[in-house]
Structure 1
Amino acid sequence: MTTRVLPGPRERLLEAAKELTYAQGVGVGVDALLKAANVARRSLYEHFGGKDGLITEVLRLSAAEDEAAYERTMRAAGDDPRRRILAVFDWLGEVIEEPDFRGCRYLAAELALADPDHPGHEVTRRYNARIRALLESELRDLDHPRPAHAADQLLVLINGALAVGATRPGTLPAAAARELAEHLLDEGRG
């Protein structure tokens, strides 16, 4: 006979918050989170100090997962930095076409967290800085003449594709962003 171990309250809260904050935004109510996780209010405060702590932890965990997905996508594209960067846009095209796609969790959180001191802002900004650093590293390997500036531009294209993908389904924003990225990358060719 095998014993099935069920996730504890902390894990259930994290999973419920990850799903609900993506589907409904970070403004989702505490009662909805508690109900989805099937935990008492006390568990929220014991494990996270409140909703802000839970939101911040979900953003932190999601950011680590998403950063790893960028890295996997780039590695799978081989050794050519140009191909690795363009692979990001191909992958984003797949992500945007998923039926449960709701846009970028980090952009949505940045816009929804009204308190400028909310700890979630630091998490989203660090995440964006790490993605930008990945892009800049590839651009340096490509010998792009302005790698820092081009990384900023690529990040705008990525965020724009994700935003348009959420607000205008069926418009293929990642393909449009990829085409613009190709022009930006070609700037580095002598």
Structure 2
Amino acid sequence: MATTTQPGPRERLLTAAQELFYARGPAVGVDALLKEANVARRSLYEHFGGKDGLVAAVLRRAADEDLAWYEQALAGSTDPRRRLLGLFDRLDELVSNDEFRGCRYFASDLTFADPDHPAHAETEAFRQRLRELLVRELKALGHRRPARAAEQLHLLIEGTLVMGATQDGQRPARAARDLAALVLD
């Protein structure tokens, strides 16, 4: 007889928090998190030290998943220019999805006003990793100013995510793709 192992409290908290933070924002209450994860309050403190630790852990986990998504989005071609422009095509698909709720990193930065909140270190770490990925691609392209161009592309990506969450039907990634072509040229 096969047995199915259920995830433990730590994993249930991470999964519930990642889903709730994205759907309702990172300010979602602890009681809602505990109910969704079906765990006792003690589990939150044992595994994460409190909600702030859970927020940071969720952002770290989401960052790994999101960066894997960016890598996959870039994998559509061997030509660096097409790879980077194709990224904006994939962003168009992402922000056009009815379930898209915006950028989790931007939402976290806005939610937690305290500059020392652990969420800010995680959002900055994610953004740094994304810029490094862009610099890598721009170097492969032979761009003469890869760090500067990565900043510009990153701005277009962030703008696409924000506009995609607030501008129904506007397709901001298409406009961003046109601007990205100028940055690449």
TM-score by length of 2: 0.97
Q: Pairwise mapping of residues 1-190 of structure 1 onto structure 2 (< 5 A)?
A: 1-75=1-75, 77-186=76-185
Deviation at 1:173, TM superposition (A): 0.5
Deviation at 1:80, TM superposition (A): 1.0
Kindly provide the amino acid, as one letter, of the partner of residue 136 in structure 2: S
**Partners in 1 of 2:5 and 2:138 — Cα distance?**
46
User: Which deviations, in whole Å up to 9, do the C-alpha atoms of 1:87-116 show, x marking residues without a partner?
Assistant: 111111111122211001111111111111
User: Which deviations, in whole Å up to 9, do the C-alpha atoms of 1:52-80 show, x marking residues without a partner?
Assistant: 000100000000011111112212x2221
User: Which deviations, in whole Å up to 9, do the C-alpha atoms of 1:139-167 show, x marking residues without a partner?
Assistant: 12212122111110000000000000001
User: Which deviations, in whole Å up to 9, do the C-alpha atoms of 1:2-47 show, x marking residues without a partner?
Assistant: 2121111111111110011011111100001001111110010011
Kindly provide the amino acid, as one letter, of the partner of residue 104 in structure 2: R
Instruction: State the 4+ residue runs in structure 1 displaced beyond 2 angstroms.
Output: none
Kindly provide the amino acid, as one letter, of the partner of residue 108 in structure 2: A
TM-score by length of 1: 0.94
**Partners in 2 of 1:124 and 1:86 — Cα distance?**
24
Name the count of aligned residue pairs. 185
5+ residue gaps, structure 2: none
Backbone CA RMSD of aligned residues: 0.9
Of residues 87-96 and 48-57 in structure 1, the stretch that sits farther from structure 2 once superposed is: 87-96
